[in-house]
Amino acid sequence: MIVFDLRCPGDHVFEVWFASSAAFEEQRARGLVSCPTCGSGQIEKAVMAPRVGAKGNSVAAAARPDLKTVLNAIATEQAAALRNSNWVGKDFATEARAIHDGEKPDRLIHGQATAAEARALIDDGVPVAPLLVPVTPPESLN
Ligand SMILES: [Zn+2]
């Protein structure tokens, strides 16, 4: 999964997760990507241009290496957590919700979810996060 900062003609900038750069291009070409603020489908990748005169510009620049460090730390933590985690494949959203609601015993799981499913889980307060480490789904090993 990779995250893109996207921008519409109305200058709304938003983040969207895609499986790959190619997935982004394909979904954009099919008109599946739209601005959450104004609904415009004319989306382009936001260029992280320096904002002239904006306060905090130097802070943002300085924070970049820290973000990488943080992401690396999360990736390392996730890789460790995955060893104790159960692969649930496409049932991820259902399983995560059941565990969150106490219908199933608490355990670590990982699996596949669509962007819409992931967003719904986050909206409902279910603690989920995109994986930063590559995972081979067990069924693909067959
Ligand atoms: Zn917009």
pLDDT tens digits along 36-72:
899 998 888 886 555 555 455 555 544 455 777 777 8
129, with CB counted inside 10 A (0-12, 13-18, 19+), is exposed
User: Using CA atoms, how far apart are residues 64 and 82, in angstroms rounded to an integer?
Assistant: 27
Residue 101 has a pLDDT of 92
Residue 62 has a pLDDT of 47
Distance 99 CA to ligand 1 centre (A): 35
Distance 116 CA to ligand 1 centre (A): 19
Distance 36 CA to ligand 1 centre (A): 7
Residue 140 has a pLDDT of 59
Residue 95 has a pLDDT of 92
Residues of the chain with pLDDT under 50: 54, 61-63
DSSP 141: G
Residue 78 has a pLDDT of 78
Distance 41 CA to ligand 1 centre (A): 9
User: Using CA atoms, how far apart are residues 45 and 3, in angstroms rounded to an integer?
Assistant: 11
Region of residue 102 (left: phi > 0; alpha: psi -120 to 50; beta: else): left
The C-alpha R_g of the chain, in whole angstroms, comes to: 18
User: Using CA atoms, how far apart are residues 18 and 22, in angstroms rounded to an integer?
Assistant: 9
